[in-house]
Amino acid sequence: MRCIHLAGSLALAASTVQGHFTFVRLAHNGEWKAPTQYFRNKTELFEELPHPYSNNYFRLYNDPTFRTDYPDSVRCGRDTLAHAADTEVLAVQAGDTIEIAHTRKSPDTWADEQWYDCPNGRGSCDPLDPDWTMDFNHPGPLLAHLSKVPAGGDIHTYDGSGEWVKIHSVGLEVNDDGSLHWLAYNYQGLPSRFVFRIPEQTPAGDYLLRLDLIWPGLYQPPIYVGDQAQIYASCAQISVKSNVNGSLPQGILIPEDLTTGTLVSLAMYRDQSLDEGYVYPGGPLWTGEELVEDKPNV
């Protein structure tokens, strides 16, 4: 059963082997890399900013982040800048494919079999599950963004405070009865493979590649609780080779502009129906040619 942050924040402090989830691994053009080789790692335990809607400030590795936490936590995960210098930079060509994988297991329980023995060439799995499924335990849109390191800057010290441009999203389908099927969540079954391209029109340079799945929070007037959406962000460090120079199109700031699509009605929260005019979080989607509104195809 899902729990709202306001009502169930104490549950976040419970130590679990399999709790929420973190994106930790990627494949480049079909070749899987080691976990956290290119993703900035996180710090556990980590104390977040206090705020009036929670008495839980200490977070475990796979715990969610909320919009009222430290900005760096919302952008890339908790204390990841402290691990950036130890994170490698993946060299890619504009147009290359990236696949991502997540885990719900705590790092102290990681074993080779959950990374290297997975069925069908997947990048993560759960050997304790009868089908070796590594599921998502929350619904919501899966998003990929790029943020270019400023000229003269160093990717190992870049905090992601610049603009972010969305290059990929995995959203929802509306069933015949009007209920919602979040594709990444897949009713907590086997997720689809998350493969996308670095757009061929991406200018050369160093970038943070941000992956996130956002479980939208509940908006129920007249109470507006701005921190209820659960954010599961991780950032990989990549260097893009390209014949294109210049800058990405205009993006958004995170967390400042990460509001649209993060709060929904009770009916949508329960996956019963789609809110009218719903747009996915994270700003417009860049196709490589243009920015388009990112919303369900209904």
For 242-296, what is each residue's pLDDT tens digit?
A: 999 889 999 999 999 998 999 999 999 999 999 999 999 999 999 999 999 999 9
85 residue type, one letter: A
Distance CA 186, CA 3 (A): 18
What is the tens place of the pLDDT at every residue in 181-195?
999 999 889 998 999
Whole-angstrom Cα distance, residue 260 to residue 200?
Answer: 28
pLDDT score for 4: 33
- DSSP H stretches of helix in the chain: 5-8, 71-76, 113-116, 266-269
* CA dist 155 → 25, 49, 87, 166, 218 (Å): 19, 25, 10, 19, 36
66 or 166: which carries more pLDDT confidence? 166
β-strands 18-28, 31-32 pairing: antiparallel
* pLDDT class of 5 with cuts at 50, 70, 90: very low
Q: What is the per-residue pLDDT across 201-210, written as a single tens digit (0 to 9) for each?
A: 999 999 999 9
Quick one: how far is CA 222 from the chain centroid? 29
Domains of the chain (ranges plus CATH)?
Answer: 22-292 (2.70.50.70)
Report the alpha-carbon distance of residue 112 to residue 130 in Å, rounded: 18
* Mean pLDDT in residue range 10-35: 76
The C-alpha atoms of residue 24 and residue 124 are separated, in whole angstroms, by 9
pTM over 0.85: yes
